[in-house]
Amino acid sequence: MADAAGEVAIIGGGIVGLALALNLHRRGLGCRVYEAVPQVKELGVGITLLPHAMRELAALGLQERLEPRGIENRESCFFNRFGQLIFKEPRGRFAGYPLPELGMHRGRLHRVLYDAVRERLGAARIVTDHRCVGLEQDADCVTLHFQQTSTGTGLPPVHAAIAIGCDGVNSAVRAQFYPGEQLVFTGINTWRGVTRHNPILTGRSYLRVGSIRTGKIVIYPIIDDIDGSGQQLINWTTEIETAAAEQNDWNKPGRLDDFIHIYESWRFDWLDVAELIRTADVIFEYPMVDKDPIARWSFDRVSLAGDAAHPMYPRGSNGSAQGLIDARVLADALAAHDDPQAALRAYEARRAEPAAEVVLTNRTQPPDFINIRVEELTGDKPFANLDDFITQDELRALSDRYKRIAGYAIADIASPAGR
């Protein structure tokens, strides 16, 4: 492979790495993406693209490709574990945003980004089967070391002007600067799946039912008319908090018997939750983990973005959005500064504090804090009149607070700079 010493090396070809490549190309900056998997496939389950994520993707010219591949959310609904509606609010365009909120299959989003990079930058700019195993740098460049994932064979070193770790929660790049760092696990495990099912409520509804203390499930559609008979592909995620220290393994398929007992009685007149889970096409298990925020992302010619910089609980549909904002801010900084080290420092100064605030808020007061608060006030019992415990205005204030912290209040979306 030709020496790439004048380029930006992007370690990781996930959502953030590909978005960074597109942002750099848009500003006339050369880059190459190094991805560990030997072959890119449409994998995973659902993802929600909030308006601030859509703002970043629209700026890359991808909105028209994405909208037909997802489902536009119309409303967000919060229910207790007895099936009673707690709070409901419109979403995306239905709430007055200039952009939609989309639920879609993560693999479809990744494919759109991957195809766009290949079209605009050329297929040679995405190098697969390259797992980063180390790096060093001097005053002039970064030297990256790779193994071929499929064989374990060492590969020739790669030289780059700058290296950006977009390699996720278990980032090899971050481990170079924070050796021995551990994931933070506080006893919350999750199981995720997708089920073919008739449309639920409006067929455009994003649902949060229950709380992590007694069992929670998030449900939303990601593909319309999956089988030609009007059924949708429904994404669901359960979250369960326990006192045990046993952590789920995200490399194993999920076992129904490990968690279905919590949801057996969740049979409402508008949805049989237990049946939704039992009839899933696939089930995966994951631990709910993040890492403590770090003040320093950039080290001379190396920096971090996305989950490598700020792994956060997957609550509030915010991880991908924050990573997409990283990609745009980083590309802007590199375009604005002749000195790459100054550019990386400017990027970190802009993004580290807002991202850390989202990480900490996702731990303590995510959007489903509404469910937790109502459960506390009602004693985890059905209510006759919720206003006897908390008003809709108070619940709306909790929802609006999260939007402001995460950077997708309507005023934030109207600003092209975002946070």
Question: Which pLDDT does position 1 carry in this prediction?
Answer: 26
Backbone angles phi, psi at 272, to 5 degrees: -95, 95
pLDDT band at 367 (very low <50, low <70, confident <90, very high): confident
**What residues does each domain of the chain span?**
8-65+104-182+292-363
List residues bridging with 220 in a β-sheet: 235
pLDDT band at 295 (very low <50, low <70, confident <90, very high): confident
Question: Which pLDDT does position 2 carry in this prediction?
Answer: 33
> Residue written as tokens 């206003």?
387
Residue 42 has pLDDT above 80, yes or no: no
Backbone angles phi, psi at 3, to 5 degrees: -60, 135
Identify the CA nearest to 36 among candidates 162, 170, 179.
170
CA distance 55 to 327: 12
Helix, strand, coil shares of the chain, percent, nearest 5, are 35, 25, 40
Lowest-pLDDT choice from 22-26, 115-119, 410-414: 410-414
Q: What is the mean pLDDT of the chain?
A: 92
CATH number at 8-65+104-182+292-363: 3.50.50.60
Residue 39 has pLDDT above 90, yes or no: no
Question: Which pLDDT does position 47 carry in this prediction?
Answer: 92
Residue 280 has pLDDT above 60, yes or no: yes
Side-chain-facing half-sphere of 141: CA atoms under 13 Å:
14
Question: Which pLDDT does position 3 carry in this prediction?
Answer: 39
CA distance 416 to 173: 30
Residue 248 has pLDDT above 60, yes or no: yes
DSSP 395: H
CA distance 92 to 81: 26
Residues in the chain: 419
Encode pLDDT of 57-102 as tens digits.
999 999 999 999 999 999 999 999 999 999 999 999 999 999 999 9
> Residue written as tokens 């996930």?
14
**In terms of pLDDT, which residue wins out, 318 or 115?**
115
- The one-letter amino acid code at 388 reads D
The tokens of 267 are what?
Answer: 């049979």
pLDDT band at 242 (very low <50, low <70, confident <90, very high): confident
In the predicted model, what is the mean pLDDT of residues 16-20?
Answer: 98
Question: Which pLDDT does position 415 carry in this prediction?
Answer: 63
Question: Which pLDDT does position 173 carry in this prediction?
Answer: 96
Residue 22 has pLDDT above 60, yes or no: yes
In the predicted model, what is the mean pLDDT of residues 100-115?
Answer: 95
Three-state SS at 233: strand
Question: Which pLDDT does position 12 carry in this prediction?
Answer: 97
